């Protein structure tokens, strides 16, 4: 077996570099100095991030005194790119006439795009601030009405944000009859 000769372009190490200790101490000194600096990372999950209203977390259904605003029109399900939403409409005696007897979001499919919130005519589905949840199996990842319904008071920040950001021309461009729009959430405020 022949002796492997050094490559011509190989970096030459000085005596102190060959010892390695100076470089090790340099690294340790660097780490030591950073121990006294202000941390920029967060000790999650003990500490949580304070999120603004613009954050798009888990989509939830807005409820008024326990009842969903949703009128089961199906727009959110049609516009959901990964087909994460499924629902079954039923009739009700309420003024809104329809409600979702079943409403499910598969959180393994959801990509937090916010399209469902964007298209909903009732502001009945909104992106909450919730981001730290998990599931043990695929069934557990399907959120039904029991987990989706959240009182509007708890979602006020997001609802206010949406009113500010969406539909700036609502009612300004053409006249409309309020009676024709009585299902809209705008008549409930």
Figure out which of the listed residues 51, 55, 57, 74 binds ligand SF4, where binding follows CB under 6 A.
Answer: 74
Whether 138 contacts 108, CB under 8 Å? yes
Q: Are 185 and 124 contacting, i.e. CB atoms less than 8 angstroms apart?
A: yes
Q: How far is the CB of 112 from ligand SF4 (least distance, A)?
A: 5
Q: How many chain residues touch ligand SF4 (CB under 6 A)?
A: 26
Give whichever of 24 and 68 is closer to ligand SF4, judged by the CB atom.
68
Residue 126, interface with ligand SF4 (CB under 6 A)? no
Q: Which C-beta is closer to ligand SF4: that of 157 or that of 184? A: 184
Residue from 152, 128, 67, 139 nearest 101 by CA: 67
Tokens at 128, concatenated:
């909450």
Decide if residue 85 touches ligand SF4 (CB under 6 A).
Answer: yes
Compute the residue count for the chain.
189
Among 90, 101, 108, 111, binds ligand SF4 (CB under 6 A): 111
The token pair that represents 169 in the structure block? 């021309």
**How many of the other CB atoms lie within 10 Å of CB of 84?**
23
For the record, the structure tokens of 57 come out as: 């977390």
Binding site for ligand SF4 (CB under 6 A): 59, 70-76, 80-82, 84-85, 105, 110-116, 119-120, 122, 124-125
């Amino acid at each position: 077996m022949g002796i492997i000769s050094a490559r011509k372009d190989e970096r030459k190490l000085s005596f102190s570099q060959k010892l390695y200790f100076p470089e090790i101490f340099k690294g340790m000194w660097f780490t030591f100095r950073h121990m006294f600096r202000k941390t920029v990372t967060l000790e999650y999950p003990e500490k949580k991030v304070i999120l603004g209203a613009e954050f798009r977390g888990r989509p939830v259904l807005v409820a008024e005194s326990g009842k969903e605003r949703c009128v089961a029109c199906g727009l959110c399900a049609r516009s959901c790119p990964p087909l994460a939403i499924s629902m079954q409409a039923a009739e009700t005696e309420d003024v809104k006439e329809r409600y979702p007897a079943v409403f499910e979001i598969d959180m393994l499919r959801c990509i937090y795009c916010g399209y469902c919130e964007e298209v909903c005519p009732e502001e009945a589905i909104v992106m909450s601030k919730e981001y730290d949840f998990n599931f043990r199996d695929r069934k557990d990842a399907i959120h039904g009405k029991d987990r989706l319904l959240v009182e509007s008071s708890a979602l006020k920040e997001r609802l206010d944000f949406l009113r500010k950001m969406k539909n700036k021309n609502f009612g300004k461009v053409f006249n409309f009859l309020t009676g024709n729009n009585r299902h809209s959430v705008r008549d409930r405020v």
